[in-house]
Amino acid sequence: MSDLKIAIILGSTRPGRNGKAVADWVLERGKGRAGADYELVDLADFPLPHLDEPIPPSAGQYVGEHTKAWAAKIAEFDGFVFVTPEYNHSTSGVLKNAIDYLYSEWNNKAAAFVSYGGLGGARAIEHLRGIASELQLAHVRQQLSFSLFNDFENFSVFKPAALHEDAVTTLFDQLEAWSGALKPLRG
């Protein structure tokens, strides 16, 4: 068992969401890897209202019980795989909101991105990269972008192309390397 823990954060809570199948596919490929232990963190299990903390997250003085529970969960991990849909050329509102709730729990950790959408969700990833940088969350180069046209049957049944198998291995390799390298920075 590895000493690295990596969360696969499912960034959609919509009924009938495609993201659950994508996140499950990523989790299945992460199982059995020697470099890290992977866990699915579904935002549907952490119902956060629109950011309602009175003090900026960078102060770390959370008052809401929902915030404290979310902070405790995220603090457990050394790295993250964000699974995001692309909505209106960006990430989902629920994922952005969940990220905005915290600060130090993200710092000096690593992130990778998996997206899906009409253009593979690439624009959602570009926005997440900027957000991650501000949170001192190092992000790896490899990403996965699933097309609703090529990787889903009838836009709803996830059937990823074979080319994604090599890409997900590279993503995990990079994420585990960076997560391990950053761990000493957190003491």
Q: 7: pLDDT confidence band, cut at 50, 70 and 90?
A: very high
Q: What is the mean pLDDT of residues 75-97?
A: 97
Predicted pLDDT at 140: 98
Q: 1: pLDDT confidence band, cut at 50, 70 and 90?
A: low
Q: Tokens representing 158?
A: 């996830």
Is it the case that residue 187 has pLDDT exceeding 90? no
Q: Tokens representing 39?
A: 């866990």
Domain assignments of the chain as residue spans, ordered by start = 5-186
What is the assigned CATH class of domain 5-186?
alpha beta
Q: What is the mean pLDDT of residues 17-36?
A: 96
Alpha carbons 81 and 139: distance in angstroms, whole number: 10
Neighbouring residues of 13: CB distance < 8 A, sequence distance ≥ 6 = 43, 44, 92, 94
Q: What is the mean pLDDT of residues 122-149?
A: 97
- pLDDT per position as a tens digit, 151-183: 999 999 999 999 999 999 999 999 999 999 999
- pLDDT per position as a tens digit, 94-135: 999 999 999 999 999 999 999 999 999 999 999 999 999 999
Q: What is the mean pLDDT of residues 9-32?
A: 96
